[in-house]
Amino acid sequence: MEATYIKRKKDGRIHIMSGNKGDIVLKWTIIILAILTVVAFLFFNYAGLELGSAIRETAYNLKVMFLEPTLNHFDLGEAFYQIGITLGLAFLATIIGAVIAFFLSLMTAANLAPVWVSRTVRVFVAIIRAVPTVLWVLIFAIAAGLGSEAAILGMLFHSIAYLVKAFSEAFEEVDKGIFEALRSTGANWWHIVKSGVLPSTFTYLLSWTFLRFEINFGVAVAMGAAAGAGGIGFELFMASSFYFDLREVGFITYSILIIAFLLEVISTRLKKRYFPATTTK
């Protein structure tokens, strides 16, 4: 007697995955990408490339960059100051973004907002998120001109979209029973947000905000160069494209690396503490 709902492969072994379309699509996407990657190498233009000297010169450049870092065009104090500016850009964009995202995500969470409001905000946020941060910066540069204003606005925009998604998902995780209990005491919506939702999600909100800060620091470095927003990114751009000073590039890279490393350490700690189950990324 065979139960019909057991799915079997052709050779009779039992499937444990439900075998939906998504899995199959994913599998084929990976296979096709792998083939394309191999094929691409065969089609490159190799004319004028001497692999030997290319590798040797790259190695030399890397050696100058990373083994002999010095500062030539500005001093250590100035370097700290520029790093401070970059951190400041990232910080402003993150904090303002987090505050705005908090209120927007109250309007997005399915358990806090009416369906039509939640859907509308969700669509807007998805559109904003679909456009890369750099593009937003350039779009704002039209109005604000290239510089730190455009950089902050662009980073802010994308941070909001990112955090709204994260925050509203955290809100939706809040136990239904808490809502029920508070509503049954006669609490209104604001009471429930303040006393039920916020305490239950506060640590999540905090660590998401910090994760975003980490991302924004990276973006702020790039924006310093690309959008002329100043900070350490701009110095990096000057050193590499204007003065061709490899040693300075090396120094700046190290300092960015140290900051990024510190941020990473803190955020890993936060994650371990608050999301013990999901240590992906």
Q: By CB under 8 A, tell whether 99 contacts another protein.
A: no
Q: Which residues pair with 14 in a beta bridge?
A: 8
Stretch that binds another protein, among 10-18, 130-138, 154-162, 179-187 (CB under 8 A): 179-187
Q: Please, which residue, 138 or 198, has the CB nearer to another protein?
A: 198
Q: Which of 120, 203 has the CB closer to another protein?
A: 203
If one asks whether residue 190 binds another protein (CB under 8 A), the answer comes out as yes
170: contact with another protein by CB under 8 A: no
185 forms part of the interface with another protein (CB under 8 A): yes
CA distance 113 to 45: 56
CB of 156 to another protein, least distance (A): 26
* Total interface residues for another protein by CB under 8 A: 20
Which one of residues 4, 37, 53, 184 is an interface residue with another protein (CB under 8 A)?
A: 184
Residue from the set 191, 269, 272, 273 that interacts with another protein by CB under 8 A: 191
CB count in 10 Å sphere of residue 274 = 16
Q: Which of 195/268 has CB closer to another protein? A: 195
Bridge partners, 8 (sequence order)? 14
Among the listed residues 22, 48, 77, 186, the single contact to another protein using CB under 8 A = 186
The residue among 12 and 177 lying less far from another protein, judged by its C-beta, is: 177
In angstroms, rounded to a whole number, what is the distance separating the alpha carbons of residues 168 and 108? 6
Q: Which is nearer to another protein, 111 or 240 (CB)?
A: 111
Q: Which residues bind another protein (CB under 8 A)?
A: 175, 177-178, 180-188, 190-191, 194-196, 199-200, 202
